[in-house]
Amino acid sequence: TKQPVRVAVTGAAGQIGYSLLFRIASGDMLGKDQPVILQLLEITPALKALNGVVMELRDCAFPLLADIVTSDDPMVAFKDADYALLVGAMPRKAGMERGDLLGANGGIFKPQGEALNAVASRDVKVLVVGNPANTNALIAQQNAPDLDAGQFTAMVRLDHNRAISQLAEKTGKPVSSIKNLTIWGNHSSTQYPDLSQATVDGQPALDQVDRDWYEQQYISTVAKRGAAIIEARGLSSAASAASAAIDHMRDWALGTPEGEWVSMGIPSDGSYGIPEGLIYGFPVTCKNGKYEIVQGLPVSDFSRGKMDATAQELTEERDEVRKLGLV
**241, 274, 286, 311: residue in contact with ligand NDP (rule CB under 6 A):** 241
Q: Which stretch, 194-202, 237-245, 302-310, 317-325, contacts ligand NDP (CB under 6 A)? A: 237-245
Of 49, 42, 45, 51, the residue nearest 72 (C-alpha)? 42
State in angstroms the smallest separation of the CB of 89 from ligand NDP. Answer: 3
| Count of residues engaged in binding ligand NDP, rule: CB under 6 A | 25
Q: Which stretch, 61-69, 236-244, 247-255, 270-278, contacts ligand NDP (CB under 6 A)? A: 236-244
Site string for ligand NDP, 263-292 (x = CB under 6 A): ------------------------------
The answer to whether residue 187 is catalytic is: yes
Under the criterion CB under 6 A, does residue 101 sit at the interface with ligand NDP?
A: no
**6, 7, 8, 13: residue in contact with ligand NDP (rule CB under 6 A):** 13
At residue 117, what are phi and psi to the nearest 5 degrees? -60, -40
Q: Which stretch, 113-121, 201-209, 233-241, 292-300, contacts ligand NDP (CB under 6 A)? A: 233-241
* Residues, the chain: 327
**7, 11, 147, 294: residue in contact with ligand NDP (rule CB under 6 A):** 11
* 233 membership: H or E segment, kind and range: helix 225-233
Q: Which stretch, 13-21, 164-172, 194-202, 248-256, contacts ligand NDP (CB under 6 A)? A: 13-21
Under the criterion CB under 6 A, does residue 89 sit at the interface with ligand NDP?
A: yes
In DSSP terms, 200 is beta-bridged to 178, 203
Of 101, 134, 116, 181, the residue nearest 275 (C-alpha)? 134
Under the criterion CB under 6 A, does residue 238 sit at the interface with ligand NDP?
A: yes
133-158 burial: b if 16+ Cβ within 10 Å, else e: bbbbbbbbbbbbeebebebbbbbbbb
Q: Is-cis flag, bond preceding 132, omega within 30?
A: yes
Angstrom distance (rounded) from CA 24 to CA 55: 16
Which residues neighbour 2 within 8 Å (Cβ) at sequence distance 6 or greater? 33, 34, 35
Three-state SS for 199?
Answer: strand
State in angstroms the smallest separation of the CB of 264 from ligand NDP. Answer: 15
List interacting residues with ligand NDP (CB under 6 A).
Answer: 10-11, 13-17, 41-43, 46, 87-89, 91, 108, 129-131, 158, 226, 236-238, 241
